[in-house]
A and B are shown apart, each in its own frame.
Chain A
Amino acid sequence: MIYAIFMVLVLLTLVASWRGHPWELPLFGLAVAWVLVHVVLDMTTPLTLSF
């Protein structure tokens, strides 16, 4: 489900961009930061996400 949430966040950002809503950049920042944290956690713990 976490990957579905990532994609919903991307979709919400797209909708905000379409409407020129001020939440576009905060949503984008949240999505990018969350994905980065997710990947870094994968790198720093025993293999769980991969391969």
Chain B
Amino acid sequence: MTRLYLLAATLNVWVLVLILAAAFAVQLIVGDLPCPLCVVQRVCLMLVALGPLHILMRGRDGFFTTRDAAVGNGMAIVAAFVGAVTSGRQVLLHILPGDAGFGAPVFGLHLYTWCLIAFACQIAASAVLLIALDFIEEKPQPDWPLTNATAIALAVVIVANLLSVIAEAGLHWDLPPDPVEYLLFK
């Protein structure tokens, strides 16, 4: 059961990494630069991923405790709440009839709407993982082999977004509300 729990935490991080990679792909392929609120939502997705990653990191040494798992799920829920506030804010900005929304829709919904759905699902998933702690036995486990690869994948996507936002903002403290070019290269 413990290994199943670690697998769930690993999948949780990879789903978030894939969401971030997909948003980055839309930025590069479609040329749709992220607005300030979009970037904040990306930061929130990264913060959410640190929760399940905390579980993996603490379980890396072969001893998995329910306390570490509870802390990791709590981190994910808090970050997902902040993310839901941010994406909810952006959804409400474009809720009036006739408003085309920001950016190109993907599968009929804008990225910030998908983000709101993702944050809501994350809160529910973390709550389920908290409940599932009741089935965990605290005893030494063999090392979980996917921890380092998962952490490296998350680090890569964070660094890519960091470079992107530096290019987008240039030397300015904030981003323009509707960015159309990379200010660093202007």
Please say whether chains A and B are actual partners in one complex: yes
CB-CB < 8 A to B40: which residues of A? 3, 6, 35, 38-39, 49
B44 at interface by CB-CB < 8 Å: yes
B175 at interface by CB-CB < 8 Å: yes
Most buried by B among A11, A14, A20, A28: A14
CB-CB < 8 A to A4: which residues of B? 162, 165-166, 169
Contact stretch, chosen from B21-29, B77-85, B113-121, B132-140: B77-85
CB-CB < 8 A to A13: which residues of B? 47, 50
Q: Is the interface of A mostly helix, strand, loop or mixed?
A: helix
Question: Does B50 lie within 8 Å of A14, measured CB to CB?
Answer: yes
Shortest C-beta distance, B180 to chain A (Å), equals 13
Question: Does B46 lie within 8 Å of A7, measured CB to CB?
Answer: yes
A32-B82, A39-B89, A51-B93 given; A10·B46 CB < 8 A: yes
A17-B50, A36-B82 given; A10·B89 CB < 8 A: no
Question: Does A7 lie within 8 Å of B53, measured CB to CB?
Answer: no
Q: In the complex, given contacts A3-B40, A7-B165, what are 17 additional A-B residue pairs having Cβ atoms less than 8 angstroms apart?
A: A1-B172, A3-B43, A3-B165, A6-B40, A7-B161, A10-B47, A14-B50, A17-B151, A18-B57, A31-B43, A32-B79, A35-B47, A36-B82, A39-B85, A42-B89, A49-B37, A50-B36
A interface list, Cβ under 8 A from B: 1-4, 6-8, 10-11, 13-14, 17-18, 20, 24-25, 28, 31-32, 35-36, 38-39, 42-43, 47-51
Q: Which 9 A-B pairs have the closest CB atoms?
A: A49-B36, A7-B162, A51-B102, A10-B46, A6-B43, A3-B165, A3-B39, A17-B57, A36-B82
